């Protein structure tokens, strides 16, 4: 473990994961990420797995007869891995990595109970210090890139473990040029960064340039923000309860994350942040 920030993140996910996957949106699929109401989505479960679906489409559109190797960095409880395994058109071997011991325990349990025939391994590790791993055809991060305290190091590790021609997929929040008054915007962004333990909130352009230094070329850049169902009744209720929470003398690790999510909603609505799906190709 390399930093104090990572210790905090680990504690944040170890403590919150059981709640994340039992209550709220994540209970629909065990994915700890956003619901995206993209084309063809008709219910909560499909919205919660839409990002998995577009990753699957990306992988299935690759022409190869070999067994694929796929690495999920920041794998949560393994929900994306299991989704992909169900829909892939060819054989694949998976590795999932998370900094959270609790998440890895959940993932291993789901694997044993429901997918015992699947070639996959879940490892508790820091994605800045990857263990000995084989080369992969696909590496993806869903809502995990922004948690990196050192994206340059993360990209360097990814580059080393991606096959030539392999793809890196990142789905996450990126800064836009910004709207509104500066002070107000800064306050909202700071509340998001603090509540969700964000390590690096970058513009896509910055990531594109940094990735190029590691031989990774941006090939697709899709804005998923229009497909987020923002400011729902659930969000309004959370916003209301936050008023009461702020009056309390004690802080809760779960409610701090709700506070971060509330600020993120406002950042997305005001166009300070976009939710993007990016695909990079290794030359």
Ligand X SMILES: C[S@@+](CC[C@H](N)C(=O)[O-])C[C@H]1O[C@@H](n2cnc3c(N)ncnc32)[C@H](O)[C@@H]1O
Does 142 bind ligand X (CB under 6 A)? Our answer is: yes
Q: In the complex with ligand X, which residue's Cβ is closer, 87 or 178?
A: 87
Q: In the complex with ligand X, which residue's Cβ is closer, 80 or 265?
A: 80
- Find the binder of ligand X among 38, 48, 55, 74 (CB under 6 A): 74
Does 81 bind ligand X (CB under 6 A)? Our answer is: no
| The two three-digit tokens of residue 56, written as one number | 């699957």
- 60: Cα separation from own chain's centroid: 20
Q: Select the residue whose beta carbon is closest to ligand X and give its number.
A: 74
Query: Nearest approach, Cβ of 142 to ligand X (angstroms)?
Result: 4
Does 143 bind ligand X (CB under 6 A)? Our answer is: yes
Strands 162-175 and 136-142: parallel
Does 264 bind ligand X (CB under 6 A)? Our answer is: no
Q: In the complex with ligand X, which residue's Cβ is closer, 104 or 204?
A: 104
- Find the binder of ligand X among 76, 151, 157, 260 (CB under 6 A): 76
Q: In the complex with ligand X, which residue's Cβ is closer, 45 or 185?
A: 45
Phi-psi region of 118 (alpha: psi -120 to 50; beta: other; left: phi over 0): beta
Q: In the complex with ligand X, which residue's Cβ is closer, 1 or 119?
A: 1
Q: Which spans in the chain are helix H?
A: 4-22, 44-48, 50-60, 79-87, 101-114, 151-161, 182-195, 204-213, 233-247, 253-269
144-163 positions binding ligand X, by CB under 6 A: 144, 147
- Find the binder of ligand X among 13, 50, 275, 280 (CB under 6 A): 13
Helices (H) and strands (E) in the chain, counts: 10, 7
Does 79 bind ligand X (CB under 6 A)? Our answer is: yes
Residue of 27, 30, 9 whose CA lies nearest to 126: 9
88-107 positions binding ligand X, by CB under 6 A: 97-100, 103
Residue whose pair of structure tokens reads 């190869």 in the numeric block: 64
Q: Are 2 and 125 in contact (CB under 8 A)?
A: no
Q: In the complex with ligand X, which residue's Cβ is closer, 38 or 76?
A: 76
Sequence-separated (6 or more) residues with CB below 8 Å from residue 247: none
Sequence-separated (6 or more) residues with CB below 8 Å from residue 181: none
Task: Give the binding site for ligand X (CB under 6 A).
Answer: 6, 9, 13, 31-33, 74-76, 79-80, 97-100, 103, 126-128, 142-144, 147
């Amino acid at each position: 473990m390399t930093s104090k920030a990572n210790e905090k993140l680990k504690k944040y996910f170890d403590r919150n994961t059981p709640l994340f996957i039992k209550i709220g949106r994540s209970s629909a699929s065990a994915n700890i990420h956003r619901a995206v109401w993209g084309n063809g989505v008709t219910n909560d479960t499909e919205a919660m797995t839409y990002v998995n679906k577009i990753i699957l489409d990306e992988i299935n559109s690759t022409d190869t007869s070999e067994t694929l190797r796929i690495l999920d960095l920041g794998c949560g409880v393994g929900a994306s891995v299991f989704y992909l395994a169900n829909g892939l058109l060819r054989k694949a071997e998976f590795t999932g990595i998370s900094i959270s011991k609790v998440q890895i325990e959940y993932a291993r349990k789901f694997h044993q109970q429901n997918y015992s025939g699947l070639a996959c391994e879940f490892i508790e590790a820091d994605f800045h210090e990857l263990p000995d791993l084989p080369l992969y055809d696909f590496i993806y991060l869903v809502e995990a890139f922004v948690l990196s305290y050192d994206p340059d190091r993360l990209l360097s590790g990814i580059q080393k473990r991606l096959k030539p021609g392999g793809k890196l997929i990142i789905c996450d929040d990126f800064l836009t040029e910004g709207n509104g008054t500066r002070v107000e915007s800064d306050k909202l962004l700071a509340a998001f960064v603090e509540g969700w333990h964000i390590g690096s909130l970058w513009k896509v352009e910055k990531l594109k340039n940094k990735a190029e230094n590691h031989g990774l070329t941006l090939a697709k850049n899709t804005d998923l923000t229009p497909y987020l169902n923002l400011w729902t009744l659930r969000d309004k209720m959370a916003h209301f309860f936050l008023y009461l929470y702020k009056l309390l003398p004690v802080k809760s690790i779960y409610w701090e994350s709700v506070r971060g999510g509330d600020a993120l909603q406002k950042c997305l609505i005001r166009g300070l942040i976009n939710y993007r799906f990016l695909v990079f190709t290794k030359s």
